[in-house]
Amino acid sequence: MMANNVKKGNAFTENPIVRAIGTQKIVVVAVLIILFGFFCIASPAFRQYSTILSIMDYSYYTTLMAIGVTFCLITGGVDLSIGTGIICYGLLGGFLINHKGMPVAVGLLVTLLAALVIGTLNGALVAILELPPFIATLCTMMICRGLGSIATGGLSQNWPPAGSEQGWFRSIFKLDLGTIKLPLGFVWVLLLVILMSVVLNKTKVGRYIIAIGSNKEATRLSGVNVIKYQMSAYIISGFFAGLGAIAYAATFQAIAPGTGAGLELDAIGGAIIGGTSMNGGSGSVAGTLLGVFIMSMLKTGLPFIGLQANWQQIITGLVLIVAVYIDVLKNKKMQ
Amino acid sequence: MGEVILTMKGIDKSFPGVHALDHVDLEVRKGEVHALMGENGAGKSTLMKVLTGIYSKDEGTITYEGREIEFTNPREAQDAGIVIVHQELNMMGHLTVAQNIFIGREPMKGGLIDDGKMNEEARKLFGMLNIEIDPTEKMSRLTVGKQQMCEIAKAISHDAKVIVFDEPSAALTEAEIEELFKIIRDLRAKEMGIVYISHRMDEIKVITDRVTVMRDGGYVGTLVTAESTKDDIINMMVGRVIYEDPKTQSTVKPGAPVVLKVEHLNAGKMVQDVSFELHKGEILGFSGLMGAGRTETARALFGADPKESGEIYVNGEKVEIKTPMDAVKCGIGYLSEDRKRFGIVTAKTVAENTTMACLEEYMKGIFIDSRRENEVAQKYVDDLKTKTPGVDQLVVNLSGGNQQKVVIAKWLAKNCDILIFDEPTRGIDVGAKSEIYHLMNELVAEGKSIIMISSEMTEILRMSDRIVVMCEGKKTGEIDIAEATQENIMHAATLRK
């Protein structure tokens, strides 16, 4: 009845190092390395520094969205508004710069503020009005799409190009030293992943977000303000969508109204591949980073071996099935 | 009463660690309403589950219409004409009345469901029962009483010869009960055998012909209702030897201050005008039968469910408790009867569960201080003798008794002075049980106060200093332990006000 009553896993999963990092993360890292190795061998063009740089470039905004949405997923919810959201926020910021003559700094600030407003709205709908997260954020997803178009009168917005006077913000993510371009954005993303890992595992917000996802009613009956903490997950998601919008604006030449739907699925897919459970209660920010990398690696790598975008969709879908099935198996074992 | 239609003889059934049925007999005649009575856990439901093939029996025989039978699933029993009208109705609210009645055996016409015929058949059934229900109405739009009529109609449509009613009146109003009795009398007149499970003594006298009493999984006896008194039945229900010594005297110090006073608490049907006081160092037992409203009272008091009215005083001061957060601030902790759903976060560690209610005390700036968190968790693991390999163990891996200790640790870490234990030993084995009892006694000796909701009479008599008895949402008695007996508690518990 005592210690021997406790379930034992196999030798691999009980290894202290494996336990500390998590089985799924080790698997994901292995897959990542294998994929990278495979593409490098299969295609000489893939080995180029510029290719690696572009993989990174295109991963920033997805990674940032994914970090935020991880928190919603851990509460047992989801945030679908982030895809059209980043387009909407980027359009608002760009519009102020292009048509109202505002400095870029103001544009960036407005982009973030808009994201926080939508994030807070999502949180209120889910935590206070108790709408199902899927529906609530589906609605704000539509609202964001419409809002971006209306605010800009349906015009695409070009944020100031690199090298121009106002284009300094682009070097936040890619530092052009003339001879070499440095993926500075990767440093920020890494720092944010570390920061948010600490928030998730070491602060009250994180602890209660995990607790709510595991058993909301037991958490409430422990005297925890579940409304506040559930809401904060959506605000975090909104904030990171705002950061994602800035990354998107810095990466692409133009932002087109009416686009963005589907980008959230890349972010959510990345989080799931990284081991975050759709049922809530467990997940990790580092895992999310790795998951998104697998997604972008497939996206960028497959064309190099002659498989076009449609194939990439199919393969991503298959990878997701495997990832979710692992989650299902884990949950079965828990019961 | 006609000839015997159903005989269960020497039915014996064991589950791992529990002897659920110990050679139980039951005989039902045609045209008879036969009451099956007993306390919570006496084995009534288990017996009925054996009858309808949900459980297989270990020993004994079931004779039905002169043949020995053994059903392997409820469908077989149903086809043979034995059906249960469950207490909790198994209805699909979005389907119509007729669709519910004929689910799984819809009349077909050319590959499509013949709704017209189905509604016609349902109408005929209701005609037979003399009740007015529109078969095309959505089930969810009917009252609970009417839904139950539909269940009965469904039973009849299976050509039932024996109908088991499992606490049919629990959710019904007086008027609905009258209507139900009318139908039951009709069925009796049609020579059906009826088993009627209920706790309500006055109903038993009104509607039944004979009573079979069960206790602790055993058969006590069968009486003819008209020839027996309410006291006879109660004595048969509780006449058990108590192996554990009951408390004889309250251990509360004379003049101990009132730490919690609840006045005129109202919350829906299950909590009506409940008032009581809890003294420092007291274990206040809450007794009553299933559905008496004890858990609902605790949840309303704790702010887990909304209350309509009522005042709560903690240490003489009036407090507003609207959410569990408020209750915890007042120093009240609640240990739910359903640990897994409401008590613990099973997928988290012992340490994380321990500090769930008091995390702010284990912070270093904005960060959780894991070292101190583990220390406090370890302290309570030691104090409560929780058996776990470590504080980083997931709670899901612990046994029931040890999970309960983790929940207790959560409230002790929060330094709650008023603890509500809702069925503290449910699902806990005997050894761990006495440890929990010991712990509760230690807690009150330290000056904490406990409200203990329990459906086990022995537990109530062993632990409580005073006993509040509830029946159907109302407080029906308050008994000091010195005067408490199983009989006077059971009297109050079956008292309908």
Please give the domain boundaries of chain A with CATH numbers for all domains.
47-296+309-334 (1.10.3470)
Q: Is B274 in the same domain as B175?
A: no
A218 and B348 within 8 Å at the Cβ level: the answer is no
Of A6, A223, A225, the CB nearest to B397: A6
Residues from chain B contacting residue A202 (CB–CB below 8 Å): 367-368, 370
- C-alpha–C-alpha distance, residues B224 and A39, integer Å: 86
Please tell me which residue of chain A has the smallest CA distance to B408: A222
Radius of gyration of chain B (CA): 25
Q: Which of B345, B363, B373, B419 to mutate to test the interface with A (most CBs of A within 10 A)?
A: B345
A2 and B329 within 8 Å at the Cβ level: the answer is no
Residues from chain B contacting residue A211 (CB–CB below 8 Å): 345, 348, 352, 356
Of B343, B345, B366, the CB nearest to A211: B345
Residues from chain A contacting residue B345 (CB–CB below 8 Å): 211, 214-215, 218-219, 281
- Has residue B253 been placed in a domain? no
Q: Is B224 in the same domain as B328?
A: no
Q: Is A218 on the interface with B (CB under 8 A)?
A: yes
B324 and A281 within 8 Å at the Cβ level: the answer is no
B325 and A224 within 8 Å at the Cβ level: the answer is yes
**A183-215 pLDDT tens trace:** 899 999 999 999 999 999 999 999 999 999 999
Q: Which residues contact A182 (CB under 8 A, 6 or more apart)?
A: A174, A175
B85 burial class (0-12, 13-18, 19+ CB within 10 angstroms)? buried
Q: Is B199 in the same domain as B287?
A: no
Percent of chain A, pLDDT > 90?
56
Residues from chain B contacting residue A221 (CB–CB below 8 Å): 302, 304, 324, 334, 336, 342-343
pLDDT value at residue B6: 95
- C-alpha–C-alpha distance, residues A172 and B242, integer Å: 77
Of A5, A211, A225, the CB nearest to B356: A211
Residue B46 in tokens: 């288990």
Q: Is B356 on the interface with A (CB under 8 A)?
A: yes
A6 and B360 within 8 Å at the Cβ level: the answer is no
A223 and B346 within 8 Å at the Cβ level: the answer is no
- C-alpha–C-alpha distance, residues B157 and A312, integer Å: 57
- Has residue B59 been placed in a domain? yes
Q: Is B45 in the same domain as B121?
A: yes
- Has residue B248 been placed in a domain? no
Is B447 or A54 the better-scoring residue by pLDDT? B447
Residue A239 in tokens: 């904030």
Residues from chain B contacting residue A218 (CB–CB below 8 Å): 336, 341-345
Find the mean pLDDT for residues A115-142: 97
Find where tokens 């294998």 sit: A34
Which B residues 256-315 touch A at CB under 8 Å? 302, 304
Indicate the range of A127-131, A210-214, A324-328, B281-285 predicted with least confidence.
A324-328
Q: Is B166 in the same domain as B280?
A: no
Q: Which of A198, A212, A222 to mutate to test the interface with B (most CBs of B within 10 A)?
A: A222
Of B204, B238, B272, the last residue of a domain is: B238
A218 and B367 within 8 Å at the Cβ level: the answer is no
**A103-112 pLDDT tens trace:** 999 999 999 9
Q: Is B445 in the same domain as B347?
A: yes
Kindly provide the b/e burial profile for residues B333-354, where b requires at least 16 CB atoms within 10 angstroms of the residue's own CB.
bbbbbebbebbbbbbbbbbbbb
Q: How far is CA B240 from CA B204, B214, B230, B407, B468, in A?
A: 22, 11, 17, 32, 21
pLDDT value at residue A1: 34
* Side-by-side strand order, sheet with B449-453: B332-335, B418-422, B449-453, B283-287, B466-471, B474-480
Please tell me which residue of chain A has the smallest CA distance to B333: A222
Find the mean pLDDT for residues A311-315: 84
Of B185, B203, B238, the last residue of a domain is: B238
Q: Is B263 in the same domain as B130?
A: no
The number of angstroms, rounded, from the C-alpha of A117 to the middle of its chain's C-alpha atoms is 18
Q: Is A131 on the interface with B (CB under 8 A)?
A: no
Q: Is B65 in the same domain as B200?
A: yes
To the nearest whole angstrom, how far is the Cα of B414 from the nearest Cα of chain A? 10
- Has residue B321 been placed in a domain? yes
pLDDT value at residue A8: 44
A204 and B344 within 8 Å at the Cβ level: the answer is no
Which B residues 431-450 touch A at CB under 8 Å? none
B356 and A224 within 8 Å at the Cβ level: the answer is yes
Q: Is B120 in the same domain as B168?
A: yes
Which A residues 280-319 touch B at CB under 8 Å? 281-282
Which B residues 365-384 touch A at CB under 8 Å? 366-368, 370
Residues from chain A contacting residue B359 (CB–CB below 8 Å): 204, 207-208
Q: Is B328 on the interface with A (CB under 8 A)?
A: yes
To the nearest whole angstrom, how far is the Cα of A3 from the nearest Cα of chain B? 5
Residues from chain B contacting residue A9 (CB–CB below 8 Å): none
Of B238, B269, B298, the last residue of a domain is: B238
Q: Is B78 in the same domain as B194?
A: yes
- Has residue B68 been placed in a domain? yes
Give the range of the structural domain holding residue B149, as residue numbers without chain letter.
4-238
Residue B209 in tokens: 């012909």
Task: Give me the phi and psi of B69, to 5 degrees please.
Answer: -130, 160
Instruction: Look up the CATH number of the domain holding residue B382.
Output: 3.40.50.300
Residues from chain A contacting residue B407 (CB–CB below 8 Å): none
Of B334, B359, B393, the CB nearest to A221: B334
Which A residues 147-206 touch B at CB under 8 Å? 198, 202-204
Domain count, chain B: 2
B324 and A334 within 8 Å at the Cβ level: the answer is no
A223 and B363 within 8 Å at the Cβ level: the answer is no
- Measured in residues, chain A has a length of 335
Of A217, A222, A225, the CB nearest to B410: A222
A1 and B399 within 8 Å at the Cβ level: the answer is yes
- Has residue B246 been placed in a domain? no
To the nearest whole angstrom, how far is the Cα of B214 from the nearest Cα of chain A? 33
- Has residue B249 been placed in a domain? no
The ipTM, to two decimals, is 0.75
pLDDT value at residue B349: 92
Q: How far is CA A244 from CA A89, A158, B3, B207, B323, in A?
A: 10, 16, 80, 71, 37
Residue B43 near residue B20, CB atoms below 8 Å: yes
If we measure between CA atoms, which residue out of B452, B454, B458, B466 comes closest to residue B408?
A: B452
Please tell me which residue of chain A has the smallest CA distance to B327: A223
B342 and A221 within 8 Å at the Cβ level: the answer is yes
Of A6, A7, A214, the CB nearest to B345: A214
pLDDT value at residue B88: 67
Q: Is B272 in the same domain as B359?
A: yes
Residues from chain B contacting residue A210 (CB–CB below 8 Å): 348
Please tell me which residue of chain A has the smallest CA distance to B359: A204
DSSP string, A87-105: HHHHHHHHHHHHHH---HH
pLDDT string in tens for chain B (497-residue length): 789 999 999 999 987 767 889 999 999 999 999 999 887 778 888 899 999 888 999 999 999 999 999 999 888 998 899 998 876 667 788 889 999 888 888 888 888 889 899 999 999 999 888 888 999 999 888 888 888 889 889 888 888 899 999 888 777 777 788 888 999 999 999 999 999 998 777 788 889 999 999 988 889 999 999 998 888 888 888 765 444 567 888 889 888 999 999 999 999 889 999 999 999 999 999 998 877 899 999 999 999 999 999 999 999 999 999 999 999 999 999 998 888 778 888 788 999 999 999 998 999 988 999 999 999 999 999 988 888 888 998 888 887 788 889 999 999 999 899 999 999 887 776 667 778 898 899 999 999 999 999 988 888 999 999 999 999 899 999 999 999 998 899 889 888 76
B367 and A334 within 8 Å at the Cβ level: the answer is no
- C-alpha–C-alpha distance, residues B190 and B187, integer Å: 5
Residues from chain A contacting residue B324 (CB–CB below 8 Å): 220-223
Average pLDDT for chain A: 88
**A68-95 pLDDT tens trace:** 999 999 999 999 999 999 999 999 999 9
- Has residue B251 been placed in a domain? no
Of B328, B368, B399, the CB nearest to A202: B368
Q: Is A19 on the interface with B (CB under 8 A)?
A: no
Task: Give me the phi and psi of A255, to 5 degrees please.
Answer: -115, 125
Q: Is B142 in the same domain as B276?
A: no
Find where tokens 């996206």 sit: A299
**A271-293 pLDDT tens trace:** 999 989 888 888 999 999 999 99
